[in-house]
A and B are shown apart, each in its own frame.
Chain A
Amino acid sequence: MANDLLLPVVLLGGLATYLIRFLPMHAAERLNGRALPPWCHRFLLALGPSAIAALLALALADLLPIATFYAAAPAVLAGVIAVLALYRLTTNPAWSTLAGAIAYGLIHIVITV
């Protein structure tokens, strides 16, 4: 890797990422929210849950490629069940996440060893 390129690429890549995050927020702040029509407000409120559902679907799909679906499915299923169970018991996302990762890792080891 060309080390002399790294710094400018990192700085410009970081700037681009930052501006993508900041400029729409700045624009929305200047509008002060009041100029937005109700449908736009509803759309913005719905974006979060919608993004989480899409992120979850894509993350699970990465773990379940078609070619190895049946081999990978038991560990994924164990992880999902562990998350559901811990969430029901604790409603704490951190504990639920940890339980899911442990269950997935254990079943993965059992299957692959």
Chain B
Amino acid sequence: MTRTAPSNPDPGFGFGRGLVDSASLILGYFPIAVSFGLLAVGQGLSPLQALLVSAVVYAGASQFALVSLLAVGASPVSVIGAVAAMNLRHLFYGPALLSRLPKDGGRVPRPLLAFGMTDEVFALASASLTPRHTEMWLLGVQAGAYGAWLAGTISGALLAQAGNGRWPGIEAGLTFVLPALFLALLLPLLRRVNVVPLGLSAVTALGLSRFIPGHVALLVAMMVGAALAAWRSGDRDGE
């Protein structure tokens, strides 16, 4: 594989910097995890069980599905199948990020890196990784995101258990956190050369989501957009 930039990891871009850089993910994850904690306890789980789901599965949308399907008495096989199907889009995240991690410098065990490879971690890393970033930076980002996910889950679960009501104003603001995060991550990636592939990806996702589940639409859209970008850059390189 040809690397696009020389690998020159900077120790300043290590675990601590990753934790700091995960602030946007913490901001995005915490309220969603609070919502999950509220839902899980509302569906009959204890706060510890809700925390267990977040700690072990650690995959936002599919956790909501898992708890909701179990609550309506779905079979274990169908619940596990649904969880796996919803996360199939993660198949490409590891190989895509590995191709951008520095060749030199300290290595983080792959089984550890794989655990924290969520949509948002992948998005942030895709938008941020440079040859100066170390693998520990990615682990720091993942640690911040995972910590926020667990903290939000237990907060939401305890709130639900305490019988507190909801706060419509704050809840409304929280619903915009993820779109705002994705927009903020997309902005630095916008170049004239990739507007068309990115637009195609967005339009494909929107169009398909009217007919098929959103997680499937996402998987197809990201592949279509990436295929177009790869084809166009190959054309420019004369391949």
Contacts and interface: CB of A to CB of B under 8 A. Distances in A.
Interface of A: 1-3, 5-14, 16-18, 20-22, 24-29, 33-36, 38-39, 41-61, 63, 75-76, 79-80, 82-84, 87, 91-94, 96-102, 104-106, 108-109, 112
A111 to B, nearest CB: 10
Nearest to B129: A48
A71 to B, nearest CB: 13
Nearest to B66: A13
B83 interface: yes
A22 B114 contact: yes
Contacts of B205: 53-55, 57-58
Contacts, number: 314
B98 A28 contact: yes
Q: Max chain B CB contacts within 10 Å: which of A8, A22, A44?
A: A44
Q: Which 8 A-B pairs have the closest CB atoms?
A: A48-B126, A105-B173, A25-B94, A100-B180, A50-B225, A104-B176, A46-B229, A14-B56
27 contacts: A11-B56, A12-B76, A18-B114, A21-B87, A24-B93, A26-B110, A28-B99, A41-B1, A45-B4, A46-B197, A48-B122, A48-B125, A48-B127, A48-B189, A49-B186, A51-B122, A53-B198, A53-B202, A58-B205, A59-B179, A76-B176, A92-B24, A93-B184, A98-B180, A105-B169, A109-B168, A109-B169
B111 A59 contact: no
A101 B180 contact: yes
B33 interface: no
A42 B176 contact: no
Contacts of B186: 49, 52-53, 56
